[in-house]
Amino acid sequence: MKVAIADIRADPLGFLQALVAEHGDIVRHETEEQVVITLNRPEYAHHVLRNRDRNYAKRGTPDDAMLTPLLGRGLLTSDGETWKKQRRITQPSFEKRRIDALGDLIVEETLALVERWRESAGEIVRLDHDLSSLTLAVVARAILGSDMTGIGPRFGEAIDAVNRFMGHYDPLLPGAEGDRARAEFGNAVRFLDTLVALLVQGRRAGGDDAGDLLSALLAGGFDDREIRDQVLTMLMAGHETTAKALSWTSYLLDEHPDVAARLDRELARDPRTPFTLQVVQESMRLYPPVWLISRVATVDDEIDGFPVPAGALVCISPYLLHRHPEYWDDPERFDPDRFSAERSAGRPEFAFMPFSGGPRRCIGERFALFEAQLALATIRRRVAIRLVPGHPVEPEALVTLRPRHGLLATIAPR
């Protein structure tokens, strides 16, 4: 089956859903560039990402092509011995005891956002941008020891620009539209490079070991380019996933007032209610920020009797897996109780994989979930968020899964 890349780009989620609905859970098609095999069962994901992960590379994938122009060879995009070294040096910064110690910081930054909202109560805010500014502020202080207050809006604009360019995976877009996209991308990268350089220079000038990730990077034997790639990777990945999770959670709670009311009741009784995590997990099931994971087969392989030739692009979509009716009853329904201990028992590990899986499972998973829970609880206990009626909300599959038209909301103190 031949499929044009342009047709896939026009509606990636619709294409994937139609593909598995018509052809099943393992499908081969061809584009102008290569053979593509789409996998849609947990055991298939387990095979590629864990059992045979050495036979499936990130280098040469669309993920690699989209992210490398911005991130270079940071932890998300490197491989082999380089990746192992990066993982070894960064891993201690994400240990549970270090993440747990960040609770006060997360609450402090969230309360600062709540206060800004209270000062403009009744005005329409761009909720998804505000949440991105929040998660950027948290990750900058928590992981890099830097205060980025005031930089958030410009950072958000730069991220929008690089997402538009990278997400469409079309660096050769012709004409005025292509020129504009490339110019925006170049300006955004220069801004982000300058920002990272200032963070690194400031730390070097201070000469202190703050015990955070930036200190570990500076002491890890990396050159300036490697440090730039790692810092930008952590800023991008460390804030983007959590921001999108909080954005989609806010949307779903607005759409389901019964769930929102239950969450608010439980938070009033116990700010640490486990239901908060269930709400975040269910939001990430329906709208996983990382909606597609791809690898290139480096050798011939076979999955459930299906041949996978060397050089084939192998795609696994959490967006599809999280809606597989064999593992999720009424999969389109927003039901946080799916993640209760009782209902989660026996569910295959790779049926839910918003942070990928295997050796390259996201290093920041614990941090992202902890931050999302704590920020959501802090916000819900102090303000009521109402999305603007009639404003369109639909997923757009770019680098991450984001609301195409943003989220507009009004905020009222409780």
Q: Tens-of-pLDDT digits for all 414 residues of the chain?
A: 899 988 898 899 999 999 999 999 999 999 998 999 999 999 999 999 999 999 999 999 988 888 888 899 999 999 889 999 999 999 999 999 999 999 999 999 999 999 999 998 889 999 999 999 899 899 988 888 888 777 767 776 787 777 767 765 455 556 676 778 788 888 989 998 998 888 888 888 877 777 888 888 888 888 889 999 999 899 888 899 999 999 999 999 999 999 999 999 999 999 999 999 999 999 999 999 999 999 999 999 999 999 999 999 999 999 999 999 999 999 999 999 999 999 999 999 999 999 999 999 999 999 999 999 999 999 999 999 999 999 999 999 988 999 999 999 999 998
pLDDT in the model for residue 206: 75
- Report yes or no on 400 lying in a domain: yes
DSSP-based helix, strand, coil % in the chain, nearest 5: 60, 10, 30
318: exposed, middle or buried (Cβ count in 10 Å: 0-12, 13-18, 19+): buried
How many whole angstroms separate alpha carbon 294 and alpha carbon 63? 7
pLDDT in the model for residue 205: 82
- Report yes or no on 328 lying in a domain: yes
Q: Which of 113-134 are b and which e, b meaning 16 or more Cβ less than 10 Å from the residue's Cβ?
A: bbeebeeeeeeebebbbbbbbb
> Residues 153, 193: contact at Cβ < 8 Å?
no
Q: Which of 276-294 are b and which e, b meaning 16 or more Cβ less than 10 Å from the residue's Cβ?
A: bbbbbbbbbbbbbbbbbbb
pLDDT single digits (tens) 291-336: 999 999 999 999 999 999 999 999 999 999 999 999 999 999 999 9
DSSP alpha helices (H): ranges in 296-356?
A: 318-321, 341-344
**Structural domain harbouring 357:** 78-289+321-413
Q: Is the pTM of this model over 0.85?
A: yes
- Report yes or no on 71 lying in a domain: no
| CATH code assigned at 82 | 1.10.630.10
> Residues 408, 393: contact at Cβ < 8 Å?
no
Considering its fold, how many domains does the chain have in total?
Answer: 1
Return the closest-CA partner of residue 251 out of 354, 369, 163, 128: 128
- Report yes or no on 42 lying in a domain: no
pLDDT in the model for residue 167: 62
Total residues found in the chain within this entry: 414
- Report yes or no on 263 lying in a domain: yes
- Report yes or no on 173 lying in a domain: yes
Those residues with Cβ within 8 angstroms of residue 324's Cβ, 6 or more apart along the chain or in another chain: 25, 40, 41, 331, 351
Return the closest-CA partner of residue 283 out of 320, 322, 341: 322
- Report yes or no on 210 lying in a domain: yes
- Report yes or no on 167 lying in a domain: yes
